[in-house]
Amino acid sequence: MSHINQRQVQTLQQKLSPQQIQMIKLLELPTAQLDSRIKEEIESNIVLEEQEPEQTDDEQPARISVEEYLKEDDTPSYKAHINNRSKDDKQRPVYITGGRSLQESLIEQLGFRSLSQREMTLARYLVGSLDEDGYLRRDMEAISDDLAFTVGVEASIEELERLLAVIQDLEPAGIGARSLQECLLLQINQIPMTSLARRTARKILSDHFDEFVKKHYEKLISRMHISEDEFREAAAEIRRLSPRPGGSFSEGTGDAAPYIIPDFLLDYQNGKFDLQFNSYNVPELRVNRRYVEMMREMASPDGKVSEENREAVQFVKSKIDSAKWFISAIKQRHDTLMQTMREILDYQQEYFKDGDKSCLRPMILKDIADRTGLDVSTISRVVNSKYVQTHFGVLSLKSLFSEAMQTESGEEVSSHEIKHILQECIAEEDKRKPLTDEVLMDILNAKGYRIARRTVAKYREMLDIPVARLRKQI
């Protein structure tokens, strides 16, 4: 029989305070999202407000107690005011444009078809089931069950298939397909078969799709009894088709297309670097003095608060504490980001002069953590989704970090240098006989880089380059 024992055990646990968690989240935010986060804080805290760039407010109360809130000139200005702009900054309006979605376009086209009210209801549901690429990934039986439960309409699979055929006849071509093969066939079937290349392309997609995708070109040419030139022309026709017919609606065009806002601006002139923090549209913040005055009015001359005003004073005090912490956190974020970027610049000075990747030194997160005195996890959060604008382009901070590889002479080089050699070798290879990973390994070893085949494969995948078989061309 087991006995119940009671004993005292001392353990050591590390817990993050809510403010530490918020600080971590602020560090991770790129400049483009910081503005939204600040606006959220302003909406939730009545004491926090935006300030015009030319305005200053140096007389902000300290924290701790109500009595100290009522004193003047006790708090350093940096705790109650943050300046995110320089005198050369300009307010840039953010334009938001909204175009028609894929579903809206298809429903509009369905309006020109002769469909009954029931058919229109079913067709709308099918359109709503398409993903952002324009594919119908769901099973017809599952859609039929959902219609019965959610809309209260019972529809057979045959009826849904007939309405899907109507949708597949709409623009853009290939919409409503359930597979890549069906998508490409829908598109090529809408093209007039006026040439041998188009007819061959349709036959490849309908009868030999798996072989074509796996790039078994010699087998295809032999099985179809066509020449290499005829196959090359047919493959060119297939490449003109879109594998994502709905992509033009999901990606957007023009002003609506996503773009990168750099977090740092780096200029190099006359042998000197000029690094600036990009404040973009980040507003300046301050504590609203009106609430401090309100607390002063509620208190007696000796600083005491009556019982009836205690709750209101406590509420305002907590909001002021929160506002001051947020302003301080934004400043700390700014200082941490700038400190990290300065050390990265100092570490990679030769590279930042002209952008020559051969000058990029091996650098890991620990190198910058040691130089800044910050934790490796902090550096990781700082460089995540952050960009720097240089005179040779906009760079991701993450792309500046690389492993160190050792040559036969014992010299340490960046993995970027090896990736660059891999790209050059693959760009210059004979596409009829692309280089395998083993051959690429031999080339690198001959150049003095000691590297294994699996490492070559890893770098090739990081460069988003397919294996040799999939790079093969006729």
Residues 6 or more apart from 5 whose CB is under 8 A from it?
none
Q: Which residue has the tokens 């700038």?
A: 338
**Amino acid letter for position 251:** E
pLDDT at 202: 93
Are 73 and 134 in contact by the 8 Å Cβ rule? The answer is no
Quick one: average pLDDT of 103-132? 89
pLDDT higher than 70, residue 1: no
Q: Where are the beta strands (DSSP E) in 141-219?
A: none
Are 336 and 382 in contact by the 8 Å Cβ rule? The answer is yes
Structure tokens at 243: 């594998």
pLDDT at 91: 47
pLDDT higher than 80, residue 414: no
What radius of gyration do the chain's Cα atoms show? Answer: 32
The angle, 0 to 180 degrees and rounded to 10, between the axes of the packed helices 217-224 and 196-207 is: 110
For the domain with range 403-471, which CATH number is right: 3.40.50.150, 1.10.10.60, 3.60.20.10, 2.30.30.90? 1.10.10.60
Quick one: average pLDDT of 22-34? 79
* Per-residue confidence band for 434, with pLDDT thresholds at 50, 70 and 90: confident
For every residue of 299-336, DSSP letters joined together read B-TTS-B-HHHHHHHHHHHHHHHHHHHHHHHHHHHHHH
| Percent of the chain topping pLDDT 70 | 81
pLDDT higher than 80, residue 447: yes
pLDDT tens figures, 225-245: 999 889 989 988 998 898 888
Domain boundaries, the chain: 18-86+275-378, 102-249, 403-471
Quick one: average pLDDT of 280-303? 74
pLDDT tens figures, 137-185: 988 898 888 888 887 888 888 999 999 999 999 988 899 999 999 999 9
pLDDT tens figures, 47-68: 888 776 554 454 444 444 555 5
pLDDT at 62: 40
**Max Cα separation, the chain?**
102
* Per-residue confidence band for 78, with pLDDT thresholds at 50, 70 and 90: very low
pLDDT at 182: 92
DSSP alpha helix (H) spans, 214-284: 217-224, 228-239, 247-251
Counting DSSP H helices and E strands in the chain, the numbers are 22, 9
pLDDT tens figures, 343-373: 999 999 988 988 887 788 888 889 999 999 9
Are 379 and 369 in contact by the 8 Å Cβ rule? The answer is yes
Distance (Å, whole) CA 433 – CA 469: 9
pLDDT at 54: 56
* Per-residue confidence band for 19, with pLDDT thresholds at 50, 70 and 90: low
* Per-residue confidence band for 24, with pLDDT thresholds at 50, 70 and 90: confident
pLDDT at 363: 87
pLDDT at 297: 73
Are 341 and 275 in contact by the 8 Å Cβ rule? The answer is yes
pLDDT tens figures, 181-209: 999 999 999 898 889 999 999 999 999 99
Distance (Å, whole) CA 234 – CA 379: 51
pLDDT at 64: 42
What average pLDDT is seen over the chain? 80
pLDDT at 180: 92
Q: How many CA atoms lie within 13 A of 130 on its CB side?
A: 29
